Amino acid sequence: MSILANKDTRVVIQGGQAGVNAARRMAEFCYLIKRPLSVEAFVYPPDAGKTNEIPYGSGLIAVPIYKTIAEATKNHPAINTSLVYIGADRAMKGGMEALDDSHIKVVSMITEGVPEKDAKILGAHARKLGKVFNGPSSIGIISAGACRLGVIGGAFDNLVLSKLYREGSFGVITKSGGLSNEIIWICSQFADGITTAIGIGGDAYPGTDYVSYLEMFENDPQTKAVVIVGEMGGDLEERAAEWYGAKKRRVKLIGVVSGFCQESLPKGMKFGHAGAKEGMKGEGSARSKSDALKKAGAIVPPTFGALGPAIKETYQEMLKSGQVKEIVEPTSLPKLPKTVEEAMKADEVIVAPLIRTTISDDRGDEPCYDGYPASELINKGYEIPHVIGLLWDKRLISKQEAEIIKRIVMLSADHGPCVSGAYATILAACAGIGLSQAVAAGLIMIGPRFGGAVTDAGRWFKYAVDNKMTVEDFLAYMKKNVGPVPGIGHRVKSLRNPDKRVKELVGYVKSLHIKTPCLDFALQVEQVTAAKKDNLILNVDGTMAAVLVDLGFPVDSLNGFFILSRTIGLIGHWVDQKRQDSRLIRLFDYLVNYAAPKRREVPPLK
Amino acid sequence: MAKVLEGPGMGLMKKWGIHVPNYVVVTSADELAKLGQANEWMKTSKLVAKAHEALGSRFKLGLVKVGLDLNGAVAATKEMIGRQVGSITVSQVIVSEMIAHKEEYYCAVKSTREGAEILVANCGGIEVESNWDRVKRLCLEVGQAPSPESLEQLAKDAGFTGPLTKKMADFAGKMFTCFDSEDAQYLEVNPVVTRESDGAFVALDAVTLLDGDAKFRHPDWNFAFAAEFGRAYSKEELEVMAVDSKIKGSVKFIEIPGGDTAMLPAGGGASVYYSDAVVARGGKLANYAEYSGDPPDWAVEVLTEKVCSLPGIKNIIVGGAIANFTDVKKTFGGIINGFRKAKADGKMKDVKIWVRRGGPREKEGLDAMRALKDEGFDINVFDRYTPLTDIVDKALQK
């Protein structure tokens, strides 16, 4: 047996994330004692109509979310308990809503910082209706082997260690949430564990006090003794003492009270829970409470440390008198399934990875590129081209190579607003499209006709060089198998009107006196093609491609150099339009050749 | 509980129809002189000047001056502003009119578990304190308002007769309305006096304690709550409070000068048991501290730095019960960072650290603490199998 929460308890949780976290803990307990999930519904208007997924064992249970308590209990008539996880300013309304629902008999409020008056109103309303209002600021209620309300009991391992999977003989009532677990633990170590433990909250006027719960424990034959953990302030402990001393009680009462340190502290200095305030005339001090409990016949250990032995002694007496029997623990208990991460850490599973990477890793305190920490690269003078080298070709390139890449990027960063990429970005920017989409619109233009010839040019120049082809053989091969040579030809530039970017790049690379077989071959191809037609010159794509192949970059990465460089320009165009607050662009009719059929009559639909 | 100084306290009473003397709260003598030109009562009435701070025994300290004219009040204000009393500097002075009166009474409303009780006595001032049995009470359930009859009966029980009965009943009724409407926890007027000029009951001095948790529904509470602590908060305490107000969960820190046992325990309940254990062992607390509700690690780190900076400490008690949901590894991570910083600043010499804790990820957290030994910390780490406050016994063993 137990009090307040048992196997028949069915729960609705009022509130958002904190409530979901509690439900997860409650599901762990349900799994441990092999009962179905006790949480049947949530009430949280912002998410009404959705579900919260609560892990139970290795599965997930979808628990519906409702707008009101009435909806929840209508759909789940077995609900008899509500846990309130609503903010302090709305907690009273939520608590009242739950108390006023005929299905609900117990309301436990977890919310902290609830105005005293609200707590009193809720408490009085519950008493009037013959219901229980527990809290505010309650950590929860747990009945061993039966039901857990809230996060009380802590992590799964602690539930097992504290033997909460089966009932013992001790009831527990605490104000402090942290100490509830400690007492449950002590009861399981020094005695046979608990029946029910209740956190009543540390406020000055908890909705239900020790006395009401003591009365319930007194009527629960399984509970043989009750441990109460008190604090200075208020008169709840004195009332408990009064109750205990009023007549012969079946249950033994063991109590400790904190706050003796106040006696040796400077006057006026107080701390602890909200309710831990001594009265104006010294009533409610730890000493007066402790004395009252002693006088009423309760067992009052002198310190918290002496509580364990006192519980042990009580238990031994109960064993001796035959009031309780030693409990044989079950040989096996359900183990909480591990998450994949936990199981891997424990070397229990092998997981086939979904993706494989060979270039970067940011699991540490900073990203590493091909193994080199980014900050170290910076501090040792490396620059952006080196990062490109590491991420695109997995090697630390030389200073000279870096300089070439830097120049390529600088030369290709932009080519004015009229080219396809920039124009597309500008068009998008003027339509109010955001940066990443507008730049993507420009990047989409990069293809066989605009900027996308670098990879192909590199591929065929490399093919020719690798196969030691002559220019003539190469041109013949291309004509037969491929078509126009990628990297050769320009719409406006020609031999007489050379592309300055090409001249610049070729000049620089040549000045370095490095081996450039591809570039040399490309320039020889230009000699032949430009002689046939003036504009069949080596264009900037072809030059970049030849140089980059010579530097050893993989052919498939070559378009990347153009995409990377031109992104700089595209971002610039977007920002430029934004800065000017440009208007939407619409094509003028006179820029369109309307070659569609003239207006005509639509024939009847057949 | 949040204490409110006289000025705003009287403001709330006035709001609910309770007669209070005319008053102003000023921060300088010049301001008072200027107000004196604008307000007729300041020129015609005798005045009282009081330091407007959360200080006890102001009379003895010379921080209450009575029977003044305006010039006298200006001079008194000049003298009081800036005076240092312990850790509190007087920054405000309340100047109010003196009410000529003969009789003094007492009235208070107090929060009780059931609701509230109204206290009335037909004596006031220091007389009521030595004649507490003359105070009569009317107990009310929460949500219940006192009837005019019950208030008159209360006044009669307290010994009021004739027309005074109704006046006291009315006054007590207004006090209750103020108490109930303003989410007060304690309202006391001592003395209530009969104004000679018109016979009205006037509240001469007010003690007002409000429920700070109800602030969200009182937009007109535009005053700061007074330190209810017997002294002003220190810079370090205020810094921890600032962190506390920003985070989920809480961190608390109060210095106790002269102690040598520093406290860094978890939980509002366990922290007091740890303090008790230190005192029971004959130790001297250097502070009170507490973190709870799974606070972020950086907040615990700030708290740790403050604790490690306490002068003359020999032991630090990093105690805690078995947490429900506070992540032990994470919060200990904050403490460890704080320890390392303190050590780097040369603060941890000859300081012994004592740890006991349980809860989510307790093994990882305790292991991380144990590893501090290798960094040269004098640290002793215990798990859930060592009873809660045993580390205090071990630390303070002679």
- The CA distance from A113 to the nearest CA of chain B, in Å, is 5
Cα–Cα distance for residue pair A226/A197, rounded to 1 Å: 9
Instruction: Name which of A218, A283, A280 is nearest A244 in CA terms.
Output: A218
Backbone Cα Rg of chain A: 39
Q: Which residue of B has its CA nearest to A232?
A: B272
Residue numbers in B near A270 (CB within 8 A): 229
CB spacing of B217 vs A89 below 8 angstroms: yes
pLDDT at A468 over 80: yes
CB spacing of A261 vs B323 below 8 angstroms: no
Distances (CA, A) of A201 to B118, B269, B371: 27, 10, 36
Place of tokens 């908890």: A206
Residue numbers in A near B388 (CB within 8 A): 182, 304-305
Which two tokens mark A330? 């079950």
CB spacing of B279 vs A272 below 8 angstroms: no
pLDDT at A280 over 60: no
User: Around Cβ B277, how many Cβ atoms within 10 Å?
Assistant: 27
B105 forms beta bridges with B192
Regarding beta strands A11-15 and A39-43, do their DSSP bridges make them parallel or antiparallel, or are they unpaired? parallel
Whether residue B143 lies within 8 A of chain A, CB to CB, comes out as yes
The residue ranking higher by pLDDT, B57 or A132, is: A132
Which two tokens mark B81? 């502003």
pLDDT at A269 over 70: no
A345 Cβ contact list (under 8 Å, min separation 6)? none
Q: Of A25, A29, A85, A116, which to mutate for an interface test with B (greatest number of B Cβ within 10 Å)?
A: A116
CB spacing of A303 vs B280 below 8 angstroms: yes
Residue pairs between chains A and B whose CB atoms are closer than 8 Å: 186
Whether residue B322 lies within 8 A of chain A, CB to CB, comes out as yes
What does the H/E/C string look like for chain B? CEEECHHHHHHHHHHCCCCCCCEEEECCHHHHHHHHHHCHHHHHCCEEEEECCCCCCCCCCCCEEEEECHHHHHHHHHHHCCCEECCEECCCEEEEECCCCCCEEEEEEEECCCEEEEEEECCCCHHHHHCHHHCEEEEEECCCCCCHHHHHHHHHHCCCCCHHHHHHHHHHHHHHHHHHHCCEEEEEEEEEEECCCCCCEEECCEEEEECHHHHHHCCCCCCCCECCCCCCCCHHHHHHHHHHHHCCCEEEEEECCCCCEEECCECHHHHHHHHHHHHHCCCCECEEEEEECCCCHHHHHHHHHHHHCCCCCCEEEECCCECCCCCHHHHHHHHHHHHHHHHHCCCCCCCEEEEECECCCHHHHHHHHHHHHHHCCEEEEECCCCCCCHHHHHHHCC
Whether residue B365 lies within 8 A of chain A, CB to CB, comes out as no
Cα–Cα distance for residue pair B151/B202, rounded to 1 Å: 18
Q: Which residue of B has its CA nearest to A156?
A: B360
CB spacing of B211 vs A115 below 8 angstroms: yes
> Smallest Cβ distance to A272: which of B115, B268, B324?
B268
Place of tokens 């996880």: A85
CA dihedral of B80, B83, B86, B91, whole degrees rounded to 10: 80
Residue numbers in B near A185 (CB within 8 A): 322, 358, 384
Place of tokens 């080196």: A386
Q: How does DSSP classify residue A488?
A: B
Q: Of B260, B275, B324, B386, which to mutate for an interface test with A (greatest number of A Cβ within 10 Å)?
A: B324
CB spacing of B323 vs A174 below 8 angstroms: no
Residues 72-111 of B with CB under 8 A from A: 111
Residues 208-247 of B with CB under 8 A from A: 211, 213-214, 216-217, 228-231
Residue numbers in A near B231 (CB within 8 A): 266, 268
Q: How does DSSP classify residue A538?
A: B
> Smallest Cβ distance to A151: which of B254, B325, B384?
B325
Whether omega for the bond prior to residue A136 falls within 30 degrees of 0, making it cis, is yes
Confidence class of residue A604 from pLDDT cuts 50, 70 and 90?
very high
Which two tokens mark B261? 């046992």
CA A564, A565, A569 angle in degrees (round to 5)? 115
Cα–Cα distance for residue pair B112/B140, rounded to 1 Å: 9
Q: How does DSSP classify residue A590?
A: G
Residue B344: is it exposed, middle or buried by C-beta count within 10 angstroms (0-12/13-18/19+)?
Answer: exposed
Confidence class of residue A283 from pLDDT cuts 50, 70 and 90?
low
Taking chain B (398 residues) in runs of 10, the rounded mean pLDDT of each run is 88 96 95 94 93 82 92 95 86 93 93 94 88 93 95 96 95 97 94 92 92 93 78 86 91 92 94 94 94 95 96 96 94 97 94 96 96 96 95 90
User: Around Cβ A266, how many Cβ atoms within 10 Å?
Assistant: 11
- The CA distance from A436 to the nearest CA of chain B, in Å, is 34
Confidence class of residue A339 from pLDDT cuts 50, 70 and 90?
confident
Which two tokens mark B255? 């210095």
User: Which of left, alpha, beta for A117 (phi over 0: left; psi -120 to 50: alpha)?
Assistant: alpha
CB B63 within 8 A of CB B90: yes
Whether residue B182 lies within 8 A of chain A, CB to CB, comes out as no
Written as one letter, the residue type at A362 is: D
Whether residue B190 lies within 8 A of chain A, CB to CB, comes out as no
Whether residue B320 lies within 8 A of chain A, CB to CB, comes out as yes
Residue numbers in B near A231 (CB within 8 A): 269, 272
For position B230, what pLDDT does the model report?
Answer: 64
CB A229 within 8 A of CB A286: no
Average pLDDT score over chain A: 93
Cα–Cα distance for residue pair A542/B207, rounded to 1 Å: 88
> Smallest Cβ distance to A259: which of B276, B323, B325?
B276
Tell me what the mean pLDDT of segment A148-168 comes to. Answer: 96
pLDDT at A282 over 80: no
Cα–Cα distance for residue pair A64/B25, rounded to 1 Å: 56
- The CA distance from A102 to the nearest CA of chain B, in Å, is 22
CB B340 within 8 A of CB B375: yes
Cα–Cα distance for residue pair B14/B203, rounded to 1 Å: 9
- What SS3 state is found at A601? coil
Cα–Cα distance for residue pair A360/B97, rounded to 1 Å: 77
Which residue among A273, A386, A490, A573 is the active-site one? Answer: A273
- What SS3 state is found at A606? coil
For position B105, what pLDDT does the model report?
Answer: 95
A359-370 tens-digit pLDDT: 999 998 899 999
CA dihedral of A180, A182, A187, A189, whole degrees rounded to 10: 160
Burial B45-66 (b: 16+ CB within 10 A, else e): bebbbbbbbbbeebeeeebbbe
Residues 20-79 of B with CB under 8 A from A: none
For position A448, what pLDDT does the model report?
Answer: 81
Cα–Cα distance for residue pair A258/A269, rounded to 1 Å: 15
Distances (CA, A) of B118 to B164, B179, B203: 17, 10, 15
CB spacing of A177 vs B267 below 8 angstroms: yes
CB spacing of A117 vs B360 below 8 angstroms: no
Cα–Cα distance for residue pair B113/A412, rounded to 1 Å: 79
CB spacing of B288 vs A271 below 8 angstroms: yes
CB B65 within 8 A of CB B48: yes
User: Which of left, alpha, beta for A370 (phi over 0: left; psi -120 to 50: alpha)?
Assistant: left
> Smallest Cβ distance to B230: which of A153, A189, A269?
A269
Q: Which residue of B has its CA nearest to A152?
A: B324
A9-49 tens-digit pLDDT: 999 999 999 999 999 999 999 999 999 999 999 999 999 99
Which two tokens mark A365? 């305190």
Q: How does DSSP classify residue A583?
A: P
> Smallest Cβ distance to B267: which of A179, A186, A305?
A179
Q: How does DSSP classify residue A329?
A: P
pLDDT at A274 over 70: no
CA A151 and chain centroid, separation: 20
CB spacing of A303 vs B321 below 8 angstroms: no
DSSP state letters, A23-69: HHHHHHHHHHTT---SEEEEE-GGGTT-EEEEEETTEEEEEEEESSH
Tell me what the mean pLDDT of segment A542-548 comes to. Answer: 95
Residue numbers in A near B325 (CB within 8 A): 21, 25, 151, 154
Distances (CA, A) of B234 to B7, B87, B238, B240, B245: 24, 8, 6, 10, 16
For position B229, what pLDDT does the model report?
Answer: 66
Instruction: Name which of A439, A421, A436, A433 is nearest A585 in CA terms.
Output: A433
Whether omega for the bond prior to residue B191 falls within 30 degrees of 0, making it cis, is yes
Q: Of B142, B207, B233, B382, which to mutate for an interface test with A (greatest number of A Cβ within 10 Å)?
A: B142
DSSP state letters, A340-397: HHHHHHTT------S---SSEE-SSSS-EETTEEHHHHHHTT--HHHHHHHHHHSS--
CB spacing of B359 vs A181 below 8 angstroms: yes
Confidence class of residue A413 from pLDDT cuts 50, 70 and 90?
very high
User: Around Cβ B352, how many Cβ atoms within 10 Å?
Assistant: 16
CB A70 within 8 A of CB A96: no
Q: Is A513 a catalytic residue?
A: no
DSSP state letters, A160-217: HHTTTTS--SEEEEES-HHHHHHHHHHHHHHSS-EEEEEE--SSSS-SS-HHHHHHHH
- What SS3 state is found at A534? coil
> Smallest Cβ distance to B268: which of A185, A202, A235?
A202
**Which helix (H) or strand (E) segment is A565 a member of?**
helix A558-580
pTM (2 d.p.): 0.82
Distances (CA, A) of A159 to A312, B326, B387: 20, 15, 18
